Amino acid sequence: MSLLEMIITIICAVLASSGFWAFIQKKNEAKDIKTKVLIGLGHDRIVYLGMKYIDQGWITRAEYENLYDYLYKPYKELGGNGSAMKIMKEVEKLEIREK
């Protein structure tokens, strides 16, 4: 048996093993949990800041851009939705002022 055949056999055995697939599945589950935590943190911060600006009745351009670009867009891309989207719709209606 040549070295190449032996390497191919070992690779096939590893890929066929249930332990390898369990490892891959566990890694994906950890990624899913991290994504859920990030969505939760983004949601919390969007709602907190959004309500602050809504109660204030206005927002600065810099505050809006920070909220939208750095929190809301990534939150939405990760799959977040619901009340944070409603808050953002209300924030978009606010008057933009300079401090």
**pTM of full prediction above 0.75:** no
Instruction: Count helices and strands (H / E) in the chain.
Output: 5, 2
In a domain, 47, yes or no: yes
DSSP 15: H
Residue 3: inside a domain, yes or no? no
What is the Cα–Cα distance from 91 to 65, expressed in whole angstroms?
A: 11
Choose among 88, 51, 56: nearest CA to 71. Answer: 88
pLDDT of residue 30: 59
Give the structural domain span for 69.
Answer: 30-97
Would you state the structure tokens that stand for residue 80, as one six-digit string? 């977040």
Going by DSSP bridges, is the β-strand pair 95-97/58-60 parallel, antiparallel, or unpaired?
parallel
Q: Please indicate, yes or no, if residue 10 is contained in any of the structural domains.
A: no
| Residues facing residue 58 across a β-bridge | 95
Find where tokens 């978009």 sit. 92
Has residue 1 been placed in a domain? no
Checking if the pLDDT of 26 tops 70, the result is no
Give the tens place of pLDDT for each residue, 42-54: 999 999 999 999 9
User: Any idea what the Cα angle at residue 46 is, between residues 62 and 29, rounded to 5°?
Assistant: 125
Residue 22 inside a domain? The answer is no
Structural domain total, the chain? 1
The kind and range of the H/E element at 58 are: strand 58-60
As a whole number, mean pLDDT of residues 79-91 equals 91
